[in-house]
Amino acid sequence: MIPQSFIEELKMNSDIESVISSYVQLRKRGRISTGLCPFHSEKTGSFTVYPESQSFYCFGCGAGGDVVGFIRRIENLEYVEAIKFLAQRAGMNVPEDAAEDKTALLKTKILEMNREAARFYFSELTKPSGKAALDYLLGRGLEPKTIKHFGLGYAPNDWTRLTDLLASKGFRYEDMVAAQLSRKSEKSGRYYDVFRDRVMFPIIDLRGNVIGFGGRKMSGDGPKYYNSPDTPVFKKTKNLFALNFAKKQKLERLILCEGYMDVIAMHQAGFTEAVASLGTSLTSDQCRLASSYVDEAVLAYDSDEAGQKATKRAIGLLDEVGIRTKVLTIQDAKDPDEYIKKFGGTRFKKLIEQSAGSVEYELSKIGKKYDTETPEGKIGALKDAVGLLAEMKNPLEREVWAAKLARDYGTTKEGILTQVQTKIKRRARAEGSRAISGTAQQNTFGGAVPEKLKNPASAAAEERLLGAVLRHPETLSTLSTKVSPEDFVCELYGNFYRKLLTTLSTGFEVSLTLFGEDFTLEQQGIIAKLAHLAREHQYSAEDAFEAAKTILRLKEKKTDKEIGELSGAELAAYIEKMRKAKK
């Protein structure tokens, strides 16, 4: 446990507005600041920072909490790691007993093992056993300085070389398994290397840590490329290969590729803004990460059918986070790596400059799909084009492209726009009710407060009490004699109330910052929402006591079935009790 006195001091030295502004572009609006939420895709800022309470809340996705909670989310850290991160930023030393956190220790061990593994793989590449792997890389056109720059290596065709090395350095086998560097044989119970006879690509995060590996097989069975599964330090859907190098320069755009070799070849040719997803299709998290650095991306995927599908999907995801997209059309080569080898970097630069916008790219594909010299072909192409325009959120953009389509296909802009509006309305009717009944209800009665669905009145009273306490903490001492955490129906609210009482007894200030270790990030979002409601409704001290009475009255209230089972005398006593409680 980290002492509350240290957290209180850390809070004072970690102004939430200052911390968040290094990740989010904030705009001052009176006493608050707003911006685009870094935790979900949006174009209108719903992310709000409250300097007075040192908290944040997003009205779009419900993320909320204190400065520690923000760092946990944005940096994908555990609680103690986030404390250490902020402490380092503030120039403070974390008390030694805090270092006993098991998860934080495991992450530290994994990062140490990954660093040792990367050194081992790199050294093996220049040994006689690694000659085939080195020849492969050189044969692909990579220069020795490029190989060194990316730390490329070779996992030898041996069952236990890395495992034995790590064991000799004092690492535990269980931790090697957690790092996905070793596995345990079910038959023999022995531990063996995960990567064998593969060219190795270290995956490095934005802070320079080796968090995982990609491996290309040189021989034998197994997938051509194998990437580290998720570990406590590595989430493949949340990282981009080579972004650690790309971000070191002033970025105007990112070039998104499919594979490691494409990226490395581009960097060698001078296109150091190239990055790639990690053994998976581009994800929403990766797009949000990219949007922190650029507002334009060039998609340089393979020219085959799979590449075209990946391009279409990526366009939609990038649009959601506000990134403009262009699409690289590669001719006479299957991928950027091959193109650069055949024609050189200068030709590739021209190719990038001539890349089409995403809409132009999609319309070009539609035009090639149909024989537009025939009436039937024109109708089919226009139907597909109308569907594409209906997905556009900007009416002016729709009008411009409708005018171009009208010229290309010999029809009227007005006719096309009419069809687009019809498509938009149909889609809204089909999706609207489902979104409201599904997502909205899930957000209101989510997993963090499951009791709210069956006990809305009790939950409302508990929310009102907690909101009033956050505005008027001086009410806690009196409330503690009237209502206890056990009187709460909602477990989260009861636990939060208990923490408030504990904080009061220790003499610390009532603040969201003190509760990060006791609640999940989802629960912190709910608590942050309570703080927002308290500000919005401007609860008075009297509201807290009125809510307490309601909580106790509802606790005593019996169900219809229970009332029906009461005797005459019991029923009369119950009615009198409820009458007094109501007063």
CA gap 383, 402 in Å, rounded: 12
Q: Give the lowest-confidence range in 92-96, 98-102, 193-197, 363-367.
A: 98-102
> Residue 361 corresponds to which amino acid?
Y
- Whether 492 and 517 have beta carbons less than 8 Å apart is answered as no
Q: Give the lowest-confidence range in 336-345, 421-430, 507-516.
A: 507-516
Partners of 28 in the β-ladder: 33
Would you say residue 505 has pLDDT above 70? no
Sign, CA torsion 542/548/553/554: positive
Dihedral Cα 413, 419, 424, 428, nearest 10 deg: 160
Q: Is 486 exposed, middle or buried (0-12, 13-18, 19+ CB in 10 A)?
A: exposed
> Residue 231 corresponds to which amino acid?
T
The 10s digit of each residue's pLDDT in 229-268 is 999 899 888 899 999 999 888 788 899 998 899 999 999 9
% of the chain at pLDDT higher than 70: 88
pLDDT, mean of residues 4-18: 83
Read off the tokens for 569: 């005398």
CA gap 1, 76 in Å, rounded: 20
Would you say residue 271 has pLDDT above 90? yes
Per-residue confidence (pLDDT) for residue 544, from 0 to 100: 92
pLDDT, mean of residues 303-316: 83
Fold equal for 4-100 and 450-582? no
Q: Provide the 3-class DSSP secondary structure of residue 275.
A: strand
Domains of the chain, by residue range, sit at 4-100, 102-234, 247-361, 370-434, 450-582
- Whether 342 and 332 have beta carbons less than 8 Å apart is answered as yes
- Whether 209 and 179 have beta carbons less than 8 Å apart is answered as no
CA gap 475, 477 in Å, rounded: 6
Q: Give, for 227, the enclosing helix (H) or strand (E).
A: strand 225-227
pLDDT, mean of residues 512-536: 77
Query: pLDDT averaged over the chain?
Result: 84
Report domain 102-234's class: alpha beta
What order of strands is seen across the sheet that includes strand 225-227?
153-155, 198-204, 210-217, 225-227
pLDDT, mean of residues 329-355: 87
CA gap 218, 198 in Å, rounded: 5
Partners of 55 in the β-ladder: 50
DSSP letters along 520-561, please?
Answer: -HHHHHHHHHHHHHHHHHT--HHHHHHHHHHHHHHHHPPPHH
Domain 450-582 part of CATH 1.20.950: no
The 10s digit of each residue's pLDDT in 420-443 is 888 888 876 665 444 333 333 334
Pick from 454, 441, 466: which is nearest to 550 by CA? 466
Q: Provide the 3-class DSSP secondary structure of residue 36.
A: coil
Would you say residue 327 has pLDDT above 50? yes
* pLDDT band, residue 30 (cuts 50/70/90): confident
Per-residue confidence (pLDDT) for residue 524, from 0 to 100: 86
pLDDT, mean of residues 401-427: 86
CA gap 275, 420 in Å, rounded: 36
Per-residue confidence (pLDDT) for residue 441, from 0 to 100: 37
Would you say residue 3 has pLDDT above 80? no
The 10s digit of each residue's pLDDT in 47-69 is 999 887 788 999 888 888 889 99
Would you say residue 103 has pLDDT above 80? no
Residue 190: partners with Cβ closer than 8 Å, 6 or more residues away: 160, 184
Domain 247-361 part of CATH 3.40.50.2300: no
The 10s digit of each residue's pLDDT in 369-398 is 888 888 888 898 899 888 888 877 778 778
Superfamily of domain 4-100: Zinc finger, CHC2-typedomain (3.90.580.10)
End-to-end C-alpha distance for the chain, whole angstroms: 44
Question: What is the phi/psi pair of residue 212, to 5°?
Answer: -175, -175
